[in-house]
């Protein structure tokens, strides 16, 4: 479910999806549809789709049974996606390095840092956490 709210010089869409694997394609479609309103390249859109899928998959993995809430903010210069994060999930999302060896897990969050130039995990004043993914439009495309 999503709700559009006009914002000064841009658009903000709030969303809330069940933390279930079936929601992954829905949230990815929503965010990529908004990203397509900006002059991103096909490769940029692929990176955004992969980053959103990976983020939502991690949230589903660690928060089954909850609703995942967030927003997509589109301005002429960037796409910003925010996810509310449960406190028990935050430590997993702070990982920046790929695991060593042949581990089959733990690669998603470091991958985000390769796909999206700015990935921030911040604790808010109400003790909740917020994960922000910010993808600027290349300067020569603005």
Question: What's 114's domain CATH number?
Answer: 3.30.565.10
0.75 cut: is pTM over it?
yes
In terms of C-beta density within 10 A (0-12 exposed, 13-18 middle, 19 or more buried), how is residue 34 classed?
Answer: buried
**What's the number of domains the chain is made of?**
1
pLDDT in tens, 86-119: 666 555 555 544 344 444 445 556 778 889 999 8
pLDDT digits (tens, 9 = 90+) for 18-43: 989 999 999 999 999 999 999 999 99
Question: What domain range is 56 assigned to?
Answer: 2-141
- What is the rounded CA–CA span in Å between residue 130 and residue 85? 6
List, edge to edge, every strand of the sheet that includes 129-136.
2-7, 10-18, 67-75, 78-85, 129-136, 118-123
């Amino acid at each position: 479910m999503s709700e559009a709210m006009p914002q000064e010089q841009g658009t903000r869409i709030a969303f809330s999806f069940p933390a279930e694997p079936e929601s992954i394609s829905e949230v990815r479609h929503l965010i990529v549809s908004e990203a397509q309103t900006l002059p991103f390249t096909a490769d940029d859109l692929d990176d955004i789709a992969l980053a959103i899928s990976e983020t939502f998959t991690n949230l589903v993995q660690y928060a089954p049974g909850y609703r995942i809430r967030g927003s997509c903010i589109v301005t002429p210069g960037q796409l910003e996606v925010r996810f509310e994060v449960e406190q028990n999930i935050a430590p997993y999302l702070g990982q920046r390095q790929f695991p060593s060896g042949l581990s089959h897990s733990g690669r998603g969050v470091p991958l985000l840092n390769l796909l999206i130039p700015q990935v921030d995990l911040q604790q808010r004043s109400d003790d909740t956490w917020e994960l922000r993914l910010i993808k600027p439009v290349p300067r020569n495309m603005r």
